[in-house]
Structure 1
Amino acid sequence: MILKFSSLLIAGVFACLPLLVDAHHSMSEFDRSVLVEVEGVISRVSWKNPHVLLEVTSTGEAGTLLTWNLEGSAVSAQRRYGLTGDEMSVGDMVRVAGSPSTRRDQYLQMHHVLLANGTELLVGRIREPRWSNTVIGAESWVADAAKIAAARGNGIFRVWSQGTRAWYFADLLGPPNYKVNESAAAMAAKWDDIADNPLIECVAPGMPALMGNPYPMEFVQVGEDIELRFEEFDVVRKIHVGGEFPDLANVEPSHHGYSVGHWEGETLVVDTFRVSWPYFDRVGVLQTENVMINERFTAEDNGNRLGYVLTVDEPAALVEPFVWDAYFVWKPGEEVGRYECTLEEWASTESTL
């Protein structure tokens, strides 16, 4: 279905959809069965993580000015499709197509932006152009040739990109494969993806949910220990290798916990304890500080693939230990960029319903 903004009355038209346990980051908010087109002038641009945001001013049927807030994918995703943010400026006339929010008036998850020069920008989940043959954003990955040629790695010590197409353990095309108990399911049913989502407030996800994020990570040797550096939210996990095992009662709980690693041949085995992050996933399944996390990282295929097995034991929420058998890939030239999450107060995160 396609709707033009001039005939659209957002408020009250879209029923509030129930939030499912397998919802993705803010995706449950948007009605993807509908595409709304908006034509107007860009009045604000925020080319920052966690989302690209545009404010577009258009003219309604009665001649009144309408202000639209438009949300695109994160900058971390945009730059991997060749988009820099320099393509759009305040004052530009644009046509935008996106999925309408079921929670906020005149708010779209934008997929297509048509510039006055005829160039179409693909800034959301849809990678097929809508209006133009001149397109930026259709390429699945754009890397600098010099960086590709200079890329080096040693075993697990390199930059890894997500190979398993998942978002916080949920397959992009299906539900998560973990089973929660009735109590945990009841709590998750109360989750509000706008009001309760800490990622929207630029709070980095803790363990184990951090491991399901879509952006690169890098293993770096620091003395005897290992750092696992993530692009998303600029998180750095420290993995303690060697030395005496600490008294966990003296370890202060933290969102990413205390990680201890050892080598079994070519496999790095990591156990993580004392995690204070309250969520197992990112849609409201709770966990306690008693959660036990085991990870196994193995460089495979001459360093082109990283096998990854995550096991989470949390009896307070899970019917049985959750095992996620996933993998990452080495893309020479890929880097762990800066995320620098920034809140924009002018784009409201509050529901109008």
Structure 2
Amino acid sequence: MRLICTLTTVALVPLGAPGHHSTGGFYDTGTTIEITGAVTEVFWRNPHVGLTLEVVDDAGETELWEIEGGAWNTVQRRGITPETVAIGDEVRVAGAPGTRGVKAVWASHIQIPGGEEFTLSDRPYPPRWTEASPAPEISAGTVAAAAETANGIFRVWSPSRGFGGGFRPPAPTVEAQALKDQWDQAVDDPGLRCEAPGMPNAILNPYPIQFIDEGDRIRLLIEEWDGNRMIYLDPATTPADPSVDRLGHSVGRWEGNTLVVEIDHVSWPYLDAQGTPMSDAVTMVERFELSDDETRMEYQVTVTDPVYLTAPAAWRRSYSWIPGTEVKPFDCTLRETGRSVYEN
């Protein structure tokens, strides 16, 4: 069967977010291409799903193309299952082409046999070829159970699209900028090795989080990288000599309907996913502000680093309560194809 490769050029929404594990450096995010090919490999895992397509080019030559998409947890919420795509299926894919000499696409859309279309990215793109397939409905029983147990901030929160107002990008010192200029994402990005990031990057991602009431402390579950933070509320039970790790030591207090968390003892080399360095002297202040009807939450984190920043950096975003949404296991798994998208 002859498989045709079709190319088009249009604007594509930029990839990534200020803190989320970024792949934009490996793809031309200002261009969209379309390819059609037969599936030879399927990889439904986090942090990025993947397919290999056998494509016949205009000269009649067969090529292998690597397709990469968003997290498996995200595309499952869009309605994709392990049975959606099978080996041998002919599919159409649209997305950003690779930039490092590898035949690769960061997929925004996929169309499967029968014409059904899905968004394959973490971003909620509009349909490209057809009406988008509806996301699976959460069962009435699951929704009712979530509504029964929700109590103030203690529930699962889903991030709204993008980052809201109040974002202050990092202002690196001369030394920090020099270190950032040496950053090579293909070599230095810990996410490419399934190494979970530290704060604040750990929470700046497009996946659900959950607050669990444990009396004098609050457990905060972060879906990406299976994050598990402890926020201490009572000074009497707060560790006197807290350990130093990637998520730091968190002490919280209530200011009305806002949970304010102060973080120190963070040991992680990077402030963001773009290689901005971060020192052990860094401190952070988070604010989780609950709406009066308890259906929305505004989040802000402000980062102060006297060693590497000339002024505090800040990120802000909104969360919504979608009853029945759950924090899924992330279980980061590397894809071993022997044809790495991320090589120089």
Q: TM-score, normalised by structure 2?
A: 0.84
| Distance in structure 2 (CA, Å) of the matches to 1:122 and 1:320 | 38
Q: Which runs of 5+ in 1 are unaligned?
A: 9-20
Cα deviation per residue 1:262-299 (whole Å; 9 max; x = unaligned)?
33444333222211111111111111111111223232
Dislocated runs of 4+, deviation >6 Å: 21-24
Q: Does 1:160 align with 2:151?
A: no
Q: Does 1:111 align with 2:98?
A: no
Give the one of 25, 38, 41 matched to 1:41.
Answer: 38
Cα deviation per residue 1:221-275 (whole Å; 9 max; x = unaligned)?
2242211001111111011232255444xx3311111222233444333222211
Cα deviation per residue 1:32-74 (whole Å; 9 max; x = unaligned)?
3333232221110001111110011123445443111100111
Give the one of 125, 128, 133 matched to 1:127.
Answer: 125
Secondary structure at 1:151's aligned position in 2? helix
User: Could you tell me which amino acid in structure 1 is paired with residue 244 of structure 2?
Assistant: P
Q: Does 1:237 align with 2:237?
A: no
| Distance in structure 2 (CA, Å) of the matches to 1:350 and 1:7 | 20
Aligned positions of 1:210-225 closer than 5 A: 210-225=202-217
Q: Give the % identical residues.
A: 35
User: Could you tell me which amino acid in structure 2 is paired with residue 299 of structure 1?
Assistant: L
| Distance in structure 2 (CA, Å) of the matches to 1:80 and 1:108 | 22
Equivalent in the alignment of 2:310: 319
Q: Structure 1 residues 263, 112: closer, same or farther in 2, change over 3 A?
A: closer
- Cα deviation for residue 205 of structure 1 reads 1.6
Q: Structure 1 residues 142, 315: closer, same or farther in 2, change over 3 A?
A: farther
Equivalent in the alignment of 1:204: 196
- Cα deviation for residue 324 of structure 1 reads 3.5
Aligned positions of 1:245-324 closer than 5 A: 245-248=238-241, 251-324=242-315
Q: Is the 8 A contact 2:19 2:204 kept in 1?
A: no
Equivalent in the alignment of 1:59: 56
Secondary structure at 2:75's aligned position in 1? helix
Secondary structure at 2:175's aligned position in 1? helix
Q: Does 1:147 align with 2:142?
A: yes
Equivalent in the alignment of 2:11: none
| Distance in structure 1 (CA, Å) of the matches to 2:137 and 2:174 | 45
Q: Structure 1 residues 53, 227: closer, same or farther in 2, change over 3 A?
A: same
Q: Is the 8 A contact 1:5 1:36 kept in 2?
A: no
| Distance in structure 1 (CA, Å) of the matches to 2:106 and 2:56 | 20
- Cα deviation for residue 214 of structure 1 reads 1.1
| Distance in structure 2 (CA, Å) of the matches to 1:148 and 1:320 | 44
| Distance in structure 1 (CA, Å) of the matches to 2:226 and 2:233 | 22
- How many residues of Structure 1 are paired with residues of Structure 2 in the alignment? 329
| Distance in structure 1 (CA, Å) of the matches to 2:37 and 2:160 | 38
Q: Is the 8 A contact 1:288 1:314 kept in 2?
A: yes
Which range moved further: 279-288 or 316-325? 316-325
Q: Is the 8 A contact 1:80 1:142 kept in 2?
A: no
- Cα deviation for residue 306 of structure 1 reads 2.0
Q: Structure 1 residues 23, 233: closer, same or farther in 2, change over 3 A?
A: closer
Q: Which runs of 5+ in 2 are unaligned?
A: 9-17
| Distance in structure 2 (CA, Å) of the matches to 1:7 and 1:267 | 50
Q: Structure 1 residues 351, 115: closer, same or farther in 2, change over 3 A?
A: closer
| Distance in structure 1 (CA, Å) of the matches to 2:280 and 2:208 | 27
Q: Is the 8 A contact 2:220 2:228 kept in 1?
A: yes
Equivalent in the alignment of 1:11: none
- Cα deviation for residue 348 of structure 1 reads 4.1
Cα deviation per residue 1:159-180 (whole Å; 9 max; x = unaligned)?
11223623xxxx79x9853322
Q: Structure 1 residues 245, 107: closer, same or farther in 2, change over 3 A?
A: same
Secondary structure at 1:315's aligned position in 2? coil
Which range moved further: 214-223 or 181-190? 181-190
Q: Is the 8 A contact 1:81 1:142 kept in 2?
A: no
Give the one of 73, 81, 102 matched to 1:76.
Answer: 73
